């Protein structure tokens, strides 16, 4: 059980300094540490101290298959009250505790996306009650935080002696912005890792395909070095057009996501979708017999068909 006695700072200036120090420390830590458990636990301890709260959590908002929101906490005070809850906490504290009950005070934050303050939780109609043995919940504040207009997560705090108010919530804005930035950065890291993993598969596939890939209409694509030929004659393509055709040819008749295509073509440069669309438009003009289909909202697909069926195929981009 963690120590739940937190002294409130002597004045607001000290509190603001503690917030800024915690933010600076977490952002600096993020450069070398991407484990959200480590990142957010330091932030939670500081938050409990400056708000004089006994316990709380910081979590990210996710949605299940039915589009119902739930929280995966990255930092949660250990308030276990039995051997079973202690075991549950220890098993899930690093991978994240899941909070999914909507008919609760924290659930009201998820449903409304708004600040929730309950200084008398036992009689608050939004409260869903407490499990048997749960430590007392005397006061509660749930604060959502956003990024790019999207609800990213929330902070839940409990048992501030004199209760919570909107002024206190407003003073925590820099803290909440930091939480949102960290979660967005963490999401981008995960996405980047997934793209790198998928791209590695395509590159391995290219290595396996030593022989030229037959695309139809007398077109053949060779990967070492990248070259497109028709009837044995080279077709001039720019380096980026070759890179685009290379990854599309690797797995024909399968949708290649925009993110993978962009990563393969532009490496470490971030470009917009318009750059990819423009590149594809130029490529289509140079190989008009072949069909590269746009799968709206997902990516592009090189269609392998017989010449007869290709003649009747119309791309609906």
At residue 143 the predicted structure's pLDDT band, cuts being 50, 70 and 90, is very high
For 224-277, the pLDDT digits (tens) are: 778 899 998 999 999 999 989 988 988 888 898 888 888 888 877 777 778 999
Per-residue confidence (pLDDT) for residue 1, from 0 to 100: 39
For residues 108 and 131, what is the distance between their CA atoms, to the nearest angstrom?
18
Q: Which residue has the higher pLDDT, 13 or 143?
A: 143
Integer CA distances (angstroms), 292 to 19, 115, 186, 211, 243, in order: 52, 48, 34, 22, 14
For residues 23 and 14, what is the distance between their CA atoms, to the nearest angstrom?
14
Per-residue confidence (pLDDT) for residue 310, from 0 to 100: 41
At residue 32 the predicted structure's pLDDT band, cuts being 50, 70 and 90, is very low
Q: Which residue has the higher pLDDT, 74 or 313?
A: 74
Percent of the chain past pLDDT 70, that is, above it, reads 79
Q: What is the DSSP letter of 86?
A: H
Quick one: CA torsion of 204, 205, 208, 214, rounded to 10 degrees? -150
Q: Which residue reads 């503690």 in tokens?
A: 18
For 163-184, the pLDDT digits (tens) are: 999 999 988 888 888 788 878 7
Residue 130 has pLDDT above 70, yes or no: yes
The first and second tokens of residue 85, run together, are 């809850």
The first and second tokens of residue 206, run together, are 């290219």
Pairing of strands 69-76, 97-99: antiparallel
> Long-range contacts made by residues 60-66, C-beta under 8 angstroms, separation at least 24?
60/36, 60/152, 60/153, 60/183, 61/110, 61/151, 61/152, 61/153, 61/154, 64/100
- Which residue ranges form the domains of the chain, and what is each CATH number? 12-191 (3.30.450.40), 209-312 (1.10.10.10)
Element (H, E) at 14: helix 12-32
**Local structure of 150: helix, strand or coil:** strand
For residues 178 and 171, what is the distance between their CA atoms, to the nearest angstrom?
13
Mean pLDDT, the chain, integer? 81
At residue 107 the predicted structure's pLDDT band, cuts being 50, 70 and 90, is very high
């Amino acid at each position: 059980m963690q120590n739940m006695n937190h002294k409130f700072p002597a004045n607001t200036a000290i509190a603001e300094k503690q917030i800024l120090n915690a933010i600076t420390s977490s952002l600096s830590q993020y450069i070398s540490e991407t484990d959200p458990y480590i990142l957010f636990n330091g932030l939670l301890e500081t938050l409990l101290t400056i708000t004089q709260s006994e316990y709380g959590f910081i979590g990210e908002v996710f949605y299940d298959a039915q589009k119902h929101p739930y929280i995966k906490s990255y930092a949660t005070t250990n308030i276990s009250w039995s051997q079973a809850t202690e075991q549950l906490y220890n098993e899930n504290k690093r991978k994240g505790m899941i909070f999914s009950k909507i008919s609760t005070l924290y659930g009201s934050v998820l449903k409304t996306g708004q600040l929730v303050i309950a200084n008398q939780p036992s009689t608050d109609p939004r409260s869903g009650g407490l499990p048997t043995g749960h430590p007392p919940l005397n006061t509660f504040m749930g604060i959502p935080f956003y990024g790019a207009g999207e609800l990213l997560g929330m902070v839940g705090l409990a048992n501030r002696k004199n209760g919570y108010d909107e002024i206190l919530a407003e003073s925590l804005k820099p803290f909440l912005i930091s939480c949102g930035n960290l979660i967005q950065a963490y999401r981008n890291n995960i996405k980047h890792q997934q793209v790198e993993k998928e791209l590695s598969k395509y590159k391995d596939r290219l290595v396996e395909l030593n022989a030229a890939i037959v695309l139809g209409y007398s077109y053949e694509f060779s990967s070492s070095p990248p070259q497109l030929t028709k009837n044995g004659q080279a077709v001039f393509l720019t380096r980026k057009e070759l890179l685009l055709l290379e990854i599309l040819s690797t797995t024909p008749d399968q949708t290649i996501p925009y993110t993978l295509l962009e990563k393969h073509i532009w490496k470490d440069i971030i470009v917009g979708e318009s750059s990819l669309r423009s590149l594809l438009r130029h490529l289509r003009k140079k190989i008009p017999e072949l069909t590269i289909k746009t799968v709206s909202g997902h990516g592009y697909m090189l269609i392998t068909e017989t010449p007869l069926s290709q003649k009747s195929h119309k791309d609906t981009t």
